[in-house]
Amino acid sequence: MAGPSIQELLDQHAAASSLLAALTASSLVPALSATEWVQTVSAVASVTKSELEWLSKDGRLSVQYSVVSYVKKALTEFYPRPSISGSEMKTALGDFTDWIASQDDRRVLDFAWDVMEYHPRRQGTCALDPVRWLKRSGRLARDLAYDCLQLAVTFRDDAENMYWWPRDPWNLADWERDSKVYFASTSHASYVVRAWAAKVLGRIYLNCARSRRANTPPIAEMLKWVHEQQLINPGIAGAFLDGAGWSIETEDWSEFSADFDLRSWFLDTLRLAKPEPDIRHVQTIEFYAHEFFDLDEDAIREMLRMGRKYLAVMTATDRPEAIDQMMGVLEEMAKSGDADVARAIQEYLRVRAHHAGLRYMPEKD
């Protein structure tokens, strides 16, 4: 016997666990007909017409996240052939798109990016209609303008393709020639474009430096430039390190940075620049810093002095196996006058699990 429908669960003010189970049960399968697709997707998307006011904040976010993930899959890997008509798409996702438009930039970017990334060159498909509606409504503007996202997706493709290049093409690369468009784009008006341009730039740099290509600058010169750009447009530093394989290509970086003070570079950049915006598939400098400094008590104290409390807690809670080694700074933080910091570290010391207590911290400093 079938359980209650999603709408019935909403009418009953069901628990988040029951709603999540129903969303999971309403699974997408390949080769749905257009009618089946519209019926299934409409039922799931209807959840966003409810305020879900009876749920806790965490429960509400979990249910909404599940709905958005479902809709993205419906528009990408489970999109039916032949295509859905424009009127059918409006029936299925018109209200959902209005709800997405009311969300913060991070959620709007996450949704539009995944759909555009999956259909980069199929502009005729109605699968892109919800993104086009966001554009027409004015919600995709400024940093998230449709043209900016198209350019960023193109740079994402460049970064992905270069990652898989064999060694031979890099022996033909020219640093000054091949980096030019990406250098220019790190000054783009959109932080999404800037980040992806910097990631490609890092990828080109890593491989040109490996191949000893002429005119490739030393890492000290590149990181000085990255630092300067980061002060103007936060989001360059983490993306460059990501593309250049920092913390992954450790042998190359050990050689590149042998005479360079990375510790001071990290701390100076964190102290002087604003926090980086979050972009999926691009690591932030904060992420790399928390790995670099997770056994450095003085650096964590410096983060606290900078006001980078979230980063300090993330760094301090990165290695439970090193709690005894880090006890000096952990005890200081557990007694902090900042209630969030103190509560986070007290839980970490009690639970002794990776990033335990971080949930108490506001996400950005």
- Position 36: which residue type? E
CA–CA separation, 285 vs 288, rounded Å?
5
Q: Are 133 and 178 in a shared domain? A: no
Last residue in a domain, options 90, 105, 140 = 140
For residue 221, tell me if it sits in a domain: yes
For residue 146, tell me if it sits in a domain: no
Buried b vs exposed e over 33-49: b needs ≥16 C-beta within 10 Å?
Answer: ebeebbebbbbbbbbbe
CA–CA separation, 301 vs 319, rounded Å?
17
Last residue in a domain, options 140, 165, 188 = 140
Q: Are 310 and 249 in a shared domain? A: yes
**Which helix (H) or strand (E) segment is 203 a member of?**
helix 191-210
Q: 282-286: list long-range contacts, CB under 8 Å, 24+ apart.
A: 282/195, 282/196, 282/199, 282/238, 282/239, 282/242, 283/238, 283/239, 283/241, 283/242, 284/235, 284/238, 285/230, 285/237, 285/238, 285/241, 286/238, 286/311, 286/314
Q: Are 209 and 93 in a shared domain? A: no
Q: Are 131 and 159 in a shared domain? A: no
For residue 201, tell me if it sits in a domain: yes
For residue 365, tell me if it sits in a domain: no
Q: Are 270 and 350 in a shared domain? A: yes
CA–CA separation, 166 vs 173, rounded Å?
12
For residue 294, tell me if it sits in a domain: yes
Q: Are 214 and 329 in a shared domain? A: yes
Tell me, what's the pLDDT at 123?
63
For residue 263, tell me if it sits in a domain: yes
Give the residue among 288, 307, 300 at the shortest CA–CA distance from 223: 288
Helices 129-136 and 146-163 cross at an angle (nearest 10°) of: 140
Tell me, what's the pLDDT at 167?
85
CA–CA separation, 62 vs 20, rounded Å?
8
Q: Are 93 and 189 in a shared domain? A: no
Q: Are 32 and 74 in a shared domain? A: yes
Q: How many domains in the chain? A: 2
Tell me, what's the pLDDT at 165?
92
Buried b vs exposed e over 203-213: b needs ≥16 C-beta within 10 Å?
Answer: bbbbbbbbbeb
Q: Are 172 and 318 in a shared domain? A: yes
197's tokens: 């341009």
Tell me, what's the pLDDT at 352?
97
Average confidence (pLDDT) per 10 residues, the chain, 365 residues? 82 95 84 90 94 94 95 93 88 96 95 92 81 96 96 96 91 94 96 98 95 92 96 95 91 86 96 92 96 97 97 98 98 97 98 96 78
Q: Are 191 and 299 in a shared domain? A: yes
For residue 232, tell me if it sits in a domain: yes
Tell me, what's the pLDDT at 42?
94
Bond into 217 cis (ω within 30):
no
CA–CA separation, 137 vs 101, rounded Å?
8
For residue 1, tell me if it sits in a domain: no
Tell me, what's the pLDDT at 1?
45
The overall pTM is greater than 0.75: yes
Q: Are 187 and 56 in a shared domain? A: no
Last residue in a domain, options 86, 119, 140 = 140
Q: Are 127 and 89 in a shared domain? A: yes
Q: Structural domain of residue 32, as residue ranges?
A: 6-140
User: Torsion angle, CA of 127/133/139/143, rounded to 10 degrees?
Assistant: 40
